[in-house]
Amino acid sequence: MPFGGPSKKYPYKCNSCGLENDVEDIVIDAFIASMEYKRGEMPKLECPCGGTLLYNPQKSPPEGR
């Protein structure tokens, strides 16, 4: 079990190909620590297709959260 318990996953969706991916909190935390972000802003990630993965808060979280 990780230091703070199970990791959280955040729903992301590509604006080009529509790929949906749950990104672990450790990845989000690393991006936020390495760049300047406004409070509450989620980082944009690169999709394998070359598009941009954007945080998708409309997606329902998995059961158990």
Give per-residue pLDDT as tens, 2-51: 566 788 999 999 999 999 999 999 888 888 777 777 777 889 999 999 99
Would you say residue 65 has pLDDT above 60? Answer: no
Would you kindly state where each structural domain of the chain is located, as residue ranges?
9-55
Listed residue (38, 46, 44) closest to 56, CA to CA:
44
Are the C-beta atoms of residues 26 and 43 closer than 8 Å to each other?
no
Which pLDDT band, with edges at 50, 70 and 90, does 64 fall under? very low
* Alpha-carbon distance values, 25 to 17, 18, 49, 50, 65 (Å): 23, 21, 22, 22, 14
